[in-house]
Structure 1
Amino acid sequence: MSPGDGASGGGEGEYGGVGQTRTRLPDRAGDVYGGARRGRSSSRSLVTVVGVVVLLIAAIAFANRGGDSSSDGKSDDKAGAAPTAATGTRPVRSTPGSIPSGYPQNEQGAQSAAANYAVALGSTGMFGANERHAIVNAVYAPAVAAARQSDLDKAYSSEKFLTNIGLNKDGTAPSGENFVSRIIPVGTKITKYSSKNAVVELWYTSLFGLSGENSTNPVSESWYTTTYQLTWINDDWKVTDFTQKDGPVPVGRDQKASTADDMTKAVEEYGGFTYAR
């Protein structure tokens, strides 16, 4: 686990990505798989198509509603499962290769900030001084950034720590090996909220280690929950403190571990995401 960052793993180089989902409608009415079957009558086919369109519109409207109650600065007294449906509000401003910023001043914005900041804090970028400083200044509130940067510099420059995880003294991976440090948020939960402060719990899984034929620290999976304290400052959410604990940890399936070559290719070819509530 990466020291003092509140996250154990992250994206390699880029912290966000943009994906698009495309829905393919049936080529012909009456066959949801787009095959060659025809309906018995054109009127029945027309009714079927209209029915599907109406249901689709209703589903989209239902998915895009919600989130209104969180924008008034109040949170429910009961801690329950938060809806994961899209709110219809643009969650964050970001550019490829940068840490997302400019979150809305509401519960969803705080949760999105916590998830994306954790990805950055758990990335391989934390093992290089220049990139680490940029991450800390982007994630932490100005009042605590300097102190956190000093602590993290000491931790990440520790020769003992770097040796224990299999890295060179300068924080790079040995020749022929690829360093993996990436986290994948699973869910977020608001435990306290006001227009100026928020407490967000982030549950995530972590990939950490070295992929390579001679690696003595192969890439492994871990599960954690980190609680972030956020404050609203300079028109954005920033971290002021955090605590971390293990789990919840699911039961592992009986799956064969991938080869070092397959793991290296996966990390290099599959980019990360911009996470949003």
Structure 2
Amino acid sequence: MTLGDDHESSGGYGGTGQTRTRLPDGPGDGHPGPRRGPARTSSRSLVTIVGVVVLLIAAIAFANRGGDDSAPSSKGRDAPPDTAATAPTGKRPVDSRTAGIPSGYARTEQGAASAAANYAVALGSADMFDKAKRDTVLGVIITPAGLPDFESRLDKAYSPQFNRNIGLNEDGTAPKGYTFVSRTNPIGTRITKSSGDRVTVDVWCGGLLGLTGQNSVSPVTSSWFTITMDLEWADGDWKIVAHSQKDGPAPIPGDDKASSADEMAKAVQEYGGFTYAR
């Protein structure tokens, strides 16, 4: 019986002997029992408590389900999430790497989104300031046809003059006594276009860039930006065909106290990054 049914029954028979017969409130001695109002309130409170307990049990069961593939599902492993685009699914993260970069993504939109998130991390790493390391990164994430153009354009962007401007040595290394910080942290992804083996993904990111050190002229600062990647399925994985970046969306800065240069350097050395996969 629903709460609506209970309310209707009480209203239809209130004040008669039938009330005690259908929904007895008293000890059954023939005298009228308590008023129906408190009983309804108690009933609703009980239903509320039971509902909360059921939700808690369901939440605990769901949280403990991760990593258990024994229970069959009516949906395939590559099925899209039921809620938001960044909701987790049962698909396991990629477990292979090429030159330290996660690889071996599923040939799905979900796989493309995961690839874009990890490629954003690679493109925003300190390795991009070193010519040899940068070429290695590009060789993993860029389509073979587009690789020469990417290498040429980024060689011009990461010039010796650019490195000097941000406080690095001309070869992209940090001066003695300093720690160089360059990290990109994906916040979320969204698919903006998908057609066969071509997918366009936006990756919203927060970034850190700068030099830690007592006399650094380029202290570590944070930024917010969105990277757009056109991906193509090539050589058995998702590869970047085109890449662009724009500022934001950026939240209002909080009132956090800035850490010292030593604290920042220690944090960067002690805290590793993540492999992004959904």
TM-score (norm 1): 0.72
Separation in structure 1 between the aligned mates of residue 108 and residue 120 of structure 2, nearest angstrom? 19
Question: 1:262/1:240 Cα in 2 relative to 1: closer, same or farther (>3 Å)?
Answer: same
Contact 1:91–1:109, Cα closer than 8 Å, also in 2:
no
CA displacement, residues 74-116 of structure 1 (integer Å, 9 cap, x when unaligned): xxxxxx941412x222232324971011100111100000000
Aligned 8 A contact 1:227 1:243 in 2: yes
1:39 is matched with: none
User: What one-letter code is carried by the residue in structure 1 that aligns with 2:154?
Assistant: L
Percent identity of equivalent pairs: 50
| Corresponding position of 1:126 | 128
Gaps of 5+ in 2: 1-52
Give secondary structure in 2 for the equivalent of 1:253. Answer: coil
**Which residue is 1:252 aligned to?**
253
Aligned residues: 222
**Distance (Å, rounded) in 1 between the aligned partners of 2:236 and 2:250:** 36
1:36-78 Cα shifts (integer Å, max 9, x gaps): xxxxxxxxxxxxx999766533555699979859759xxxxxx
Residue by residue over 1:99-147, the C-alpha shift from the partner in whole angstroms, topping out at 9 and shown as x without a partner, is 0111001111000000001111111111112211110000101010111
Gaps of 5+ in 1: 1-48, 73-79
Q: How does 1:53-68 map to 2 (within 5 A)?
A: 56-58=60-62
Distance in 2 (CA, whole Å) between partners of 1:59 and 1:176 is 45
Q: 1:148 Cα shift?
A: 0.6
- Deviation at 1:193? 1.4
Counterpart contact for 2:163–2:170, Cα < 8 Å: yes
The answer (yes or no) to whether the contact 2:78–2:91 under 8 Å persists in 1 is no
Check the 8 A contact 2:107/2:233 in 1, yes or no: yes
Higher relative CO (CA 8 A, sep ≥ 6), structure 1 or 2?
1
Task: Give distance in 1, aligned partners of 2:262 and 2:184.
Answer: 20
> Cα RMSD over matched residues?
3.1
**Which amino acid in the other structure matches residue 198 of structure 1?**
V
Q: Look up the equivalent residue of 1:122 and give its one-letter code.
A: G
Whole-angstrom CA distance in 2 between matches of 1:212 and 1:259: 9
Give SS of 2:259's match: coil
**Is the CA contact (8 Å cut-off) linking 1:210 and 1:218 kept in structure 2?**
yes
For 2:180 and 2:126, how far apart are their aligned partners in 1?
A: 7
Distance across 2 between alignment mates of 1:142 and 1:243: 18
Name whichever structure is richer in helix by fraction: 2
CA distance in 1, matches of 2:124, 2:75: 29
The alpha carbon displacement at 1:241 in A equals 0.3
Distance in 1 of aligned mates of 2:252 and 2:74: 33
1:149 aligned to 120, 128, 151, which one? 151
Q: Alpha carbons of 1:50 and 1:253: their partners in 2 closer, same or farther (altered >3 Å)?
A: closer
Q: Which residue pairs with 1:262 in the alignment?
A: 263
| TM-score with structure 2 setting the length | 0.72
What is the alpha-carbon distance in structure 2 between the residues aligned to residue 66 and residue 208 of structure 1?
A: 45
CA contact (8 A) 1:106 1:195 kept: no
Partner of 2:138: 136
Aligned match for 2:111, one of 106, 109, 112: 109
Question: C-alpha distance in 1, partners of 2:229/2:206?
Answer: 16
